[in-house]
C-alpha cells in the first residue's frame, strides 16, 4: 500500500474522536487497530469484530503509522 492509498482511507477531524486519525466513514481509530494487532488479534478476528473495516483499511492504518514514525525526530538524552 502506498502513501496515496492510505490518504484515501485515513482522515483526521477535530470533531471526531478528539482529532485522532481514523478510518474514513467510521469512528475506528488507527490507534485502536494497532493496539488490537499488538495484542495478538488476527486480521480475520479484527475484521469480524469491526465489520465496517476492510483488509485495506487495516493495511492503510499500518502504512500511515509507519510514515508517521519515520518522520519522528529522536532527541538524545
Each of the 77 residues of the chain gets a pLDDT tens digit; together they read 555 678 899 999 999 999 999 999 999 999 999 999 999 999 999 999 999 999 999 999 999 999 988 887 777 77
Question: Which CATH number among 1.10.3720.10, 1.20.140.10, 3.40.50.12280, 1.10.10.10 corresponds to the domain 3-70?
Answer: 1.10.10.10
pTM: 0.85
71, 65 Cβ separation under 8 angstroms: no
What angle, 0 to 180 degrees and rounded to 10, lies between the N-to-C axes of helices 55-70 and 30-38? 100
User: What's the rounded Cα separation, in Å, for the pair 5 and 72?
Assistant: 21
User: What's the rounded Cα separation, in Å, for the pair 16 and 57?
Assistant: 18
Amino acid at each position: 500500500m502506498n502513501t496515496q492509498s492510505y490518504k484515501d482511507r485515513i482522515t483526521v477531524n477535530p470533531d471526531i474522536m478528539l482529532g485522532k486519525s481514523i478510518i474514513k466513514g467510521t469512528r475506528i481509530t488507527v490507534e485502536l487497530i494497532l493496539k488490537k494487532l499488538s495484542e495478538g488479534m488476527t486480521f480475520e478476528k479484527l475484521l469480524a469484530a469491526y465489520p465496517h473495516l476492510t483488509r485495506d483499511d487495516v493495511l492503510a492504518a499500518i502504512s500511515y503509522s509507519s510514515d508517521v514514525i519515520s518522520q519522528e525526530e529522536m532527541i538524545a538524552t
